[in-house]
Amino acid sequence: MRTYRNPVIAGWHPDPSVCRVGDDYYLACSSFEYFPGVPIFHSRDLVNWTQLGNVLDRPSQLRLPPGTPSSGGVYAPTLRHHAGRFWLIMSNVPHGGTLLVTAEDPAGDWSDPVHLPGLTGVDPDLAWDAEGNCWCTCAGIEQVRIDPFTGTVLSRPKRLWSGTPGARFPEAPHLYRIGDTWYLLIAEGGTERGHGVSVARGPAPDGPFEPCPTNPILSHRSTDHPIQNTGHGDLVQAADGSWWLVFLGVRPRGGTPGWHVLGRETFLAPVSWVDGWPVVGQVDPLTVAPDAGPAPTSAPVGAAPARDDFDTGVLHPRWISVRSRPPEDVSLAERPGWLTLHARGGSLDDPTVTFVGRRQDQHDVQVRALVDAGRGRGGLAVRLDEQHHYAVEVAGGEVSVRARIGPLAQCLATRSVAGPVVLRIETRASGPEMDHPRQEPDVVRLGLEFADGEFVALAELDGRYLATEVAGGFTGRVIGCYAAAGTIQVDWYDYRSLSSDRLAMADDLIDA
C-alpha cells in the first residue's frame, strides 16, 4: 500500500494551479496583499514540492498600493505550458485588473505583465484549441477569446455554464481538452464549508456543456471530515497516464464552528474516470494512492526547520512582506549578517508597516528571533491582517506583548531587558477532542528567552482571534519581524515544528 500526507503544501497556499512538462510538475498559488507575489513550486511526484521563487518579484510586475485591502491583491492564478513557454494569468483586485506574464524557465525572470483591460471577470483561465485560439474563461462562468501577446479581447463574453442550480459563486474555471471532449471544471458553493468542485463536458471549448450527473465531484460539506472547504481544483495527468487533482482545503480545529488558522492549503487526490467523468478518490490527512501514479510512500513530515542567519545577501523566496518591500526599508547589506528593517508605517495596524515574515504551516510551531532594537521599536509578530495580530515587541529596554483584535488594541504585559533579546512565539494546537463547544483552536504564547534557553511567556492568548472565521478574508497567519519606529535589526530567525514526536510515531505506523 502506498500513502502520502495531505496537505502536500502546508500553510496558506490557496487556489493551486498545476501543469506538467515532461516528468516535472509546476504549481502556483494566490498571494493576495503580500509581496513578492505568486509563489511557484516544482515537484517530480506531485507530493514533495520545492519553492522555486515568486513569479511577481519586481515592483514593475505587481502594484499593491497602501489602499489595497487585506485579502485584496493577487487572486487565483492559472499556470499553463504552451508552445514552449509558461503562461500565468491572474487577477489583481481591485487595482490592476487581469494580468498575464510568461517565462521560458519558471525559476527564472518572468515578463512584465500584459494587461487585459477588456476582461472584467476574476479567476481567469487559459486554454488553447488545435487551431491556436486562446480561450480565457472567468468566474461567472463567462468566456472570451483573447490575444495572449497583446491582451486584446477578440470576442464578446459568452456565458457557458453556471454550475449546480442553487449553488452560489460559480468560479475558478479550468478548461481542458481530453481526447475529443472538452471538460469545464469549476468551484462553487463559496469558499467556506459549502465549497466544492463540479464538472461539465462538451464538444468544443465554448460548449455546449452538459453537467456531470454526480456533481459535485468533490465536497466535504455537511460532514465531520477533518479537511473542510475543499474546492478550487485543477486537474493534471501524470507521465504514466494517471490523473490527479490539486485543490484547496482547510484544517479547522476547536469547538463550534471550528476555526482554521493556517489558511487554505494545497491538497492532492487521485482521479479515476468512469463513463467519461472524473471521479475524485480518497482525501484524508494520510491518503492512500493507487498502485499507478507518482505518489511516493510518504511525504515529508511536518515543517522542516528553517533557520535564517541572513548571511547570503538575498532573502529566501518564502519571505513575504505586506504590499511592498522597498529596498531602502529592508536590507541585508547595511549590517552584514543581520536583517535591517527601517520603519515606514507605524505599528502593525498600518498598511505600510515594514514587515518580513513566512507563512505558518503547522499548528504547533516555535519561532525565535534575536532582535536588536537599540535604535527603534519592533519585534516578532503573528499577523493575519491590520486588525488581527499578536506581537512581542522590544523598545527602550522593555519587552511588551501587544494584541489587536478588531477595534480593540492592548498592551498585555511588560518586562525589562538589556541589550539584544531573543523574542519567542509558540503556538500549541488544542487536542483532537473538544473539552467544550467553545474549545479554542490553539493557544499562542509570546515572550522572551534568556541566555540559558529559559522561555518566559509574558502572555498566552486564544488563537481563534487570528482565524479566518473571526477575522474574515482569504489568507492565513504569517509570523515575522517588523519595525514600528526607527530601525531594528535581526541577527537570526528560527522556525521549527513542535510536533516531531507525534509525527515520528505516525511514520512508524506507515512503515509498518
Query: How many Å apart are CA 195 and CA 56, to the nearest integer?
Result: 28
Side-chain half-sphere of 265: how many Cα atoms within 13 Å? 24
d(CA 265, CA 10): 5
Q: How many residues does the chain have?
A: 512
Distance CA 52, CA 72 (A): 24
d(CA 379, CA 389): 13
| CA 391/CA 378 separation, integer angstroms | 9
User: Among residues 411, 329, 423, which one has the least CA distance to residue 380?
Assistant: 423
| 15 is annotated as an active-site residue | yes
State the DSSP H helix or E strand holding residue 201, giving kind and residue range, or none if neither.
strand 196-202
- Separation CA 144–CA 89 (nearest Å): 14
Beta bridge partners of 80: 87
Which among 171, 188, 234, 308 is annotated as catalytic? Answer: 171
Other beta carbons less than 10 A from residue 288's beta carbon: 13
The two beta strands, 421-429 and 442-449, are antiparallel
State the first-to-last Cα distance of the chain, in angstroms, to the nearest integer. 11
What is the strand order of the sheet 277-280 is part of?
228-237, 243-250, 265-274, 277-280
List the beta bridge partners of residue 127. Answer: 135
Active-site hit among 15, 125, 188, 426: 15
> Catalytic site residue 398?
no
C-alpha cell at 221: 460539506
Per-residue 3-state assignment (H helix, E strand, C coil) for 29-52: CCCECEECEEEEEEECCCCCCEEE
Which residues are catalytically annotated? 15, 171
